[in-house]
Every structure is written in C-alpha cells, then in structure tokens.
Amino acid sequence: VIGRGSYAKVLLVRFKKTDRIYAMKVVKKELVNDDEDIDWVQTEKHVFEQASNHPFLVG
C-alpha cells in the first residue's frame, strides 16, 4: 500500500505481461453510498477522462 484516503487506497502493482510497475487506485465501493459520494466518484472519473492522453495516467 502506497497511500490511503477516505474512499480509496493506492497500491503498487506490477503488470505481468510487461513487468512494468504502476500505482493503482482502488475505491472502497461500500463507502460510496450517498449522492455526495457518487458525485465525487463521477467528478474523479471525468478528470481522468479529460487527462486520458497524459503519459502518467493509464486506464
């Protein structure tokens, strides 16, 4: 575990096919249970979609 937050944790992972190392954010689904939480998840999803060509982000 690289880091933890209110809704998620960030893990250090290795992609088996390429042996490359990444940080993977894992959202705790059980904590996303009201409209404000869902808005936060949708906002974060939108930010990642807008930055989809950034070399440090993969999806």
pLDDT in tens, 1-52: 999 988 889 999 999 999 999 999 898 888 788 887 788 888 888 888 888 7
Listed by start position, the domains of the chain span 3-50
pLDDT of residue 54: 79
DSSP string, 25-59: EEE-GGG--SHHHHHHHHHHHHHHHHTTT-TT---
pLDDT of residue 19: 96
pLDDT of residue 13: 95
pLDDT of residue 27: 86
Q: Which residues pair with 23 in a beta bridge?
A: 12
> Is 29 one of the annotated binding-site residues?
yes
pLDDT of residue 58: 75
**Are the C-beta atoms of 21 and 10 separated by less than 8 Å?**
no
Q: How many CA within 13 A on the CB side of residue 22?
A: 15
Asked whether the CA dihedral 30, 34, 38, 39 is positive or negative, the reply is negative
